[in-house]
Structure 1
């Protein structure tokens, strides 16, 4: 496989791929990266903001932004923190403050996202030694989420503090886990560690995301359920374009961005940037750039971004500037600038690498009964 890290740069060269003409300059991107770095604690953890809590998904998203700017030492420190805190069953807890667990639930998509971060890191750096060192942690994390997969392919969204698996699955979380499983397969393939069970599980999950909305809790009020099947690389083509068109007016506020919830006058920076990535994946880059430009109203002088804006009250809310909102912004500008590693992990088949991301068993090749997804035979 081509080492994308060989095509990347460090310092200003890396930042130039992240700048967006007419929207964000290299100097502004540098300030945003410095803002994320200022939130990272000496132990490598990246809380939402200084003094705030950490969850493993947003921690990883922020690390990916640091990697994109050539701050590979800081990103590696973030992944080492995850390795040091992994539970024996492969999971992480839902929340930590100053290194102490504050929420003992174990959310599946929080655990899965390590795969996306690690493959992104490897594509940027070509660091074989680090990938090999992290492989046992990734393998254990992947097994944790696959143990939560239901017969229909969807993945139950968490284990409660007592270890009980909840019976329900979330479309947003399962869409994110589909992307994570594809990245985990990419790591396994690269290391020569075939995982046929992962391939089947990936196909079953993708089929559930694309074809069986009834297998997930109804969260249609949330914009993430709208665009995450696309962001997570499961849904493409005409069906994806129709999905965007069907709910555009429900969630998008012209000049401001994407609502978090359909019936609330609140647009959020992270959801807007994630929507921009989904639009890019469908070839709608002009729309994506426009949305990213709207979100600049949330930008602070320190380079970080306010989480959201209540437009009926003309008020910033909540009054916090989160590392993960800044991270989402950097990832959006990276795909729009054609940065190879990021277009690979969010583009799927359309990425830079020769084969994009593995699909395992393609969702279209999975045969499903009323409650069971299996590999077709004959």
Structure 2
């Protein structure tokens, strides 16, 4: 890891997340709302730092706020839903969190307590899968599924499904339907860009199919090379969007995790060092830096940015037993085209 960050500083960053946790256990965005995806990411980071009390309080929040259909409201403020739709990637990421917590702590009793939550969440997700294999991004409050899928969201869902399968196997409750869904989704992520809404200006759409585990090997290296110069700002980090002079800490650290996952350790270490200019003296991190105006943008420090830093640090140092969770996400890559996707081939993408 970079000489600029010692492990006690990583713990300090995790503590900055605990400092903003609300009394009911939720971990909000700077503007005040909580969503399940970023909440889980923050729990994972605090678990890496050994902050078990806040972590379990956060999982209690997930148990209490999950709805009967397995989803969570898109946004909650003070424990009350202010946006009622349920996002598929929010629900799927709870499986990543539960698997991560088991890897870190070895606490199988807690994993069993979370298993009904995970099972309900991933069943909600799989119900939103199309015949071709992509998973639409939300189910609206009136029950209607969205008309399109998002590449970044589906790449994260792929990791969620794989994590759920592993957790089920560990708990002697295998879920072959999730495994089939992951196989089909992985194929669409790797071979069918037309299945997703065009969000290519966002750096997440560039690296997330690799980070989530659906794309690895030569295809991953080619994908990284294709947009490297578009998004990476040497010495600063990576852009959130291609058309704005704005680097962001969360995306930079997710790319660190992506590089680590494909064995590109030198560039992972360099990028992690480059983004440290976003660190505040209290261990928190500014969300981003507008490098033309030379101003923090937005002028906030976000828990989800701190969480990405901690997870990247864990991957680079292998400090916990969960440090390889993103590397391992690509271990189960298979090619499973369906009759609906239009492909006639079958073979390894790895």
Please tell me the TM-score bracket, short chain as reference. over 0.9
Match of 2:8? 27
Corresponding residue of 1:369 = 339
Matches within 5 A, 1:1-378: 20-49=1-30, 52-348=32-328, 359=332, 362-364=333-335, 366-371=336-341
Structure 1 residue ranges, 4+ long, deviating more than 4 angstroms after superposition: none
- TM-aligned CA deviation for residue 320 of structure 1: 1.1
Q: Please give the root-mean-square deviation of Cα atoms over the aligned residues, in Å.
A: 1.8
User: How many equivalent pairs are there?
Assistant: 346
Residue 217 of structure 2 contacts residue 262 of structure 2 at CA under 8 Å; is this kept in 1? yes
In 1, the alpha carbon distance for the partners of 2:202 and 2:129 equals 23
Q: TM-score, normalised by structure 2?
A: 0.95
1:333 Cα deviation from its structure 2 partner? 0.7
Structure 2's unaligned 5+ residue stretches are: none
TM-aligned CA deviation for residue 332 of structure 1: 0.5
Aligned residue in 2 for 1:11: none
TM-aligned CA distance change 1:136 to 1:152, over 3 Å? same
1:208 and 1:215 in contact (8 A); partners too? yes
Cα distance, 1:21 vs structure 2: 4.0
List gaps (5 residues or longer) in structure 1.
Answer: 1-19, 351-355
Q: CA deviation at 1:342?
A: 3.1
CA contact (8 A) 2:249 2:285 kept: yes
CA offset digits 1:274-323 (Å, max 9, x no partner): 00100111111111111111111111111111111111100101111111
Normalised by the size of structure 1, how large is the TM-score? 0.88
Q: Secondary structure at the match of 1:101?
A: strand
CA 1:258–1:166: 2 relative to 1, 3 Å: same
C-alpha spacing 1:65/1:197, structure 2 compared with 1 (3 Å): same
CA distance in 1, matches of 2:217, 2:179: 22
CA shift, 1:244, in A, is 0.4
Retained in 2: the 8 A contact 1:152–1:373?
Answer: no
Q: CA deviation at 1:337?
A: 0.7
CA distance in 2: counterparts of 1:182 and 1:120, whole angstroms: 12
TM-fit CA distance, 1:363: 2.8
Deviation (angstroms), 1:69: 0.7
Specify the SS of the correspondent of 1:343. coil
CA contact (8 A) 1:61 1:324 kept: yes
Q: Distance in 2 between matches of 1:342 and 1:230?
A: 18
Q: Deviations over 1:350-370 (max 9, x none)?
A: 7xxxxx6xx3xx532x13334
